[in-house]
Chain A
Amino acid sequence: MLYGYSSVAAFAVTEISGDCVYGYAAPNGERPTLVKLTSDGAPVAFSRATGYSPTAAAAGIRMGWCAFQIHGLRSAFAIGDEVKLSCGVSGEVLTSLSIDMLGAPKTEDLRLSALDLVALLRQSDACPGLEQLLPFALNHYRRHGARQFIEASYLTLLGRWPDPTAPDVDFSLESDAERITVYIEDLIGSQEYKEKWGGIIPGPFVSGFRFDTTELI
Chain B
Amino acid sequence: MTKAVLDISALFEDTWTGIPNVVAAIAQRALEDQSIEWIFAYETIPIPRSVVLDFLTRHSGMGGLPFLADAAWNGQVIAEAEAKNLVAVFPNIKPVRRYFGREAIIVHDLSPILTPEFHNSDNIFHFANRIREDVKTSDHVFCVSQATLSDVNTYFKKPVSEMSVIRLGAEFDPYELSAGLQQLRPNIQVEPYIAVIGTLEPRKNGGILFEYLMQNPGFAYQYRIVFIGRDGWLDEKTRLLHRLEGVGVSPDRVQFTGYVSNAERTALMLNAAFCVYPSFFEGFGLPILEAGALGKITVCSNSSSMPEVMPGNCVFFNPQETFEFVEAMRTAELRAAQTRSRGQSLSDLLDRTSIFGWDECYQGVAKWVREQ
Contacts and interface: CB of A to CB of B under 8 A. Distances in A.
Nearest to A115: B255
A1 B171 contact: yes
B19 to A, nearest CB: 18
- The bracket for how many chain A residues form the interface is 35 or more
Interface of A: 1-4, 18-20, 31, 34, 36, 42-48, 71-72, 74-75, 88, 105-115, 117-118, 120-122, 155, 159, 196, 206-208, 210, 212
B189 interface: yes
Contact of A208 (B15, B171, B182, B346): B15
A211 to B, nearest CB: 10
Interface residues of B, number: 49
B69 to A, nearest CB: 13
Contact of B346 (A45, A121, A159, A206): A45
B311 interface: no
Interface string B173-199: 111011101111111111101010000
B260 A118 contact: yes
Given A1-B28, A19-B186, A114-B268, 14 more contacts: A2-B174, A3-B28, A19-B184, A43-B174, A46-B178, A72-B181, A72-B185, A114-B195, A114-B224, A114-B226, A115-B226, A115-B257, A210-B63, A212-B63
Nearest to B190: A112
Interface in B334-372: 345-347, 350, 357
13 contacts: A2-B174, A19-B185, A20-B185, A43-B346, A44-B346, A105-B186, A111-B191, A118-B264, A118-B268, A120-B188, A159-B258, A207-B15, A208-B15
A199 B224 CA distance: 24
B358 to A, nearest CB: 8
B169 to A, nearest CB: 10
Interface of B: 14-15, 28, 56-57, 59-60, 62-63, 171, 173-175, 177-179, 181-191, 193, 195, 224, 226, 255, 257-264, 267-268, 271-272, 345-347, 350, 357
A3 to B, nearest CB: 6
B174 A44 contact: no
Contact residues of B: prevailing secondary structure:
mixed
Contact of A117 (B60, B184, B261, B267): B267
A114 B190 CA distance: 7
B174 A110 contact: no
A117 B268 contact: yes
A47 B178 contact: yes
A2 B260 CA distance: 21
Nearest to A45: B178
Nearest to B14: A155
A207 B60 contact: yes
A123 to B, nearest CB: 11
B257 A48 contact: no
B346 A113 contact: no
B264 A46 contact: no
